[in-house]
Structure 1
Amino acid sequence: MGVVYLAALLLSLGCMLLLDWRFRLFFWRDAVSAAVVTVLGVVFFLVWDVAGIANGIFFRGDGAIATGLVLAPELPIEEPVFLLFLVVCTMVIYTGAVRLLAGLRDRHRERGEGS
């Protein structure tokens, strides 16, 4: 039972990467840029977490579904995986929204020019 949260995060990350692959939104559009953005995003949020932990703001909760493994005091192993999922999910949603809005804008222009 102690790996449910980590497994759910990895499954969710896998699903986001499948969407990314299907529509070529982030990693499958430009792998180098995507890797840079992902690493910078995860590092930023890890630094944020460490600052919160150092200031006594963030605490690791005891959960039956978590592994209990910690990378540092109050920093469970699931946290970097969650942050990775967060960054990838955000970028897939962002790039997907940009593509949808561009398509809507193009359709609107085509209809305006045809009238």
Structure 2
Amino acid sequence: MPGLYLLALLVSAAGIAALDARFRLAFWAAPGRTAGAIVLGTAFFVAWDAVGIATGVFVKGDSPALLGLDLAPHLPLEEPVFLAFLCYLALVVDAAARRRVTRRRDPATRSAEAP
């Protein structure tokens, strides 16, 4: 089914955004910094993909789940969406891990929290 992969990416991003909003981990804690990191990270990885495509290392596979729109040869629309999702997910996971480590090290914050 065309577009299934893009839909899965968007649903996954919405789930991560819901967790982010609930716990104020990345975007809801620092929207400008998070947006900047996502844009820079996505641009870096798209450039990386472009080099891989130009050298013949990366090629677009055939999948009925892809929408069928290419931004460039061997660069489907879903690729930058995936890369942005990957960057956002990494920021949320990093923020959650840092918060967890901080709370484990600081007993004052643990006693203030509900069990």
TM-score for both structures, normalised by structure 1: 0.92
Aligned to 2:45: 45
Give the structure with higher Rg (CA).
Answer: 1
Deviation at 1:68, TM superposition (A): 1.3
The equivalent residue for 1:72 is: 72
Q: CA deviation at 1:96?
A: 0.4
TM-align CA RMSD = 1.5
Whole-angstrom distance in 2 between the partners of 1:34 and 1:96 = 14
**AA at the equivalent of 2:81:** V
Unmatched tracts of structure 2, length 5 or more: none
What is the Cα deviation at residue 107 of structure 1? 2.4
Question: What is the distance in 2 between the residues matched to 1:66 and 1:107?
Answer: 49
Runs of 4+ in 1 over 3 A off after TM superposition: none
Aligned pairs, number: 110
What TM-score do you get using the length of structure 2 for normalisation?
0.92
Q: Look up the equivalent residue of 1:101 and give its one-letter code.
A: V
Whether 2:94 is the aligned partner of 1:94: answer yes
Does the residue aligned with 2:106 lie in a helix, a strand or coil? helix
Q: Deviations over 1:82-113 (max 9, x none)?
A: 001100000000000000000001129x89xx
**Any unmatched runs of 5+ in structure 1?**
none
